[in-house]
Amino acid sequence: MTGNPYLDVKPEVAEALAAGKPVVALESTIISHGMPYPQNVETALNVENIIRECGAVPATIAIIGGRLKAGLTAEEIAYFGKKGRAIAKASRRDIAAICARGEDGATTVTTTMMIAHMAGISFFATGGIGGVHRGAETTMDISADLEELANTPVTVVCAGAKAILDLKLTLEYLETHGVPVIGYGTEELPAFYSRHSGLKVDYRMDTPAEIAAAFRAQRQMGLKGGMLVTNPIPEQYAMDDAVINGAIDQAVRESVEQGVKGKEITPFLLARVAELTGGDSLDSNIQLVYNNARLASAIAKAYAETR
């Protein structure tokens, strides 16, 4: 379909793209590194079902045996869930080596965007993007997700950047690189587990059609990069700011004390926050992913209807 010798597009996804139907990409790191088994597999399958119920086609992205996969079978999702953290996280720097070696890779926001774009998929639902880490002024720890948003034309629907990050610096980085940050129904950047950060987004948009029109205009103008749509976690699943911030602060301190760095820091912090909140943060994480899948499907449908 694409001429890419490393890319396999699932037939259901290929048929939908050829017919101009809405398709929504999903990442696989959330399966292998974001949740324990079997909850990870159950959640991944539920997200795919939600997208189908909303009238779109899901395309979970991963690398299996050195092949870039745009769309997984239920068996492949179960395989990823069972192997868990034994599967390497694959960011932009890793993708060529993993494919050349015929290995498996769990796609981050960065590599999910890359593979989705290779396959012709323009919309992607995730939990939260990576960003500028706390203390980045000395560590220079900045997620590749931000650079990918500046370069790859995919609309990413999330609940904001992960709350373990420096949200203000993350917004500054996105602004510098010309990435529009849109708040769905809000002028405030959501803070992943919480609906509030005290920071303003670039634009508030209240309907999926409005977001789809903005993305279409961006593409027709030939502008580089994607768009970031931030979708607040539903009120009933949002966590108390003091509770979640206290857990995050403690997890960050422990990561420094234990010398956790690089690609291991985000899984460490998310797992530790889940422990410190008695699992409440994991429940919130699952619900916000479901919420983002619904919105991404609605945007993809609106875009397809106006082609």
Helices (H), ranges, the chain: 11-18, 29-32, 39-53, 74-83, 95-101, 109-119, 136-139, 144-151, 167-176, 208-220, 241-258, 265-276, 280-305
* Separation CA 216–CA 208 (nearest Å): 12
Cis ω before 38 (30° cut-off from 0): yes
Residue in 89, 162, 263, 301 annotated catalytic = 162
* Catalytic annotation present for 275: no
Place of tokens 């650079």: 147
- 80: tokens are 């990823």
Rg of the chain's alpha carbons, rounded to an integer? 18
Residue in 27, 69, 89, 263 annotated catalytic = 27
Q: Which of 7, 300, 35, 305 is nearest to 157 (CA)?
A: 300
Could you tell me how many residues make up the chain?
A: 307
* Separation CA 20–CA 239 (nearest Å): 39
Geometric angle at alpha carbon 123, from 120 and 129, rounded to 5°: 120
Q: Compute how many other C-beta atoms are within 10 angstroms of the C-beta atom of residue 295.
A: 21
* Separation CA 228–CA 210 (nearest Å): 14
Q: Which of 215, 133, 150 is nearest to 182 (CA)?
A: 215
Place of tokens 């708040």: 183
Residue by residue, DSSP assigns 218-245 as: HHHTT--S-EEEE-PPPGGGPPPHHHHH
Q: Which residues are catalytic?
A: 27, 162
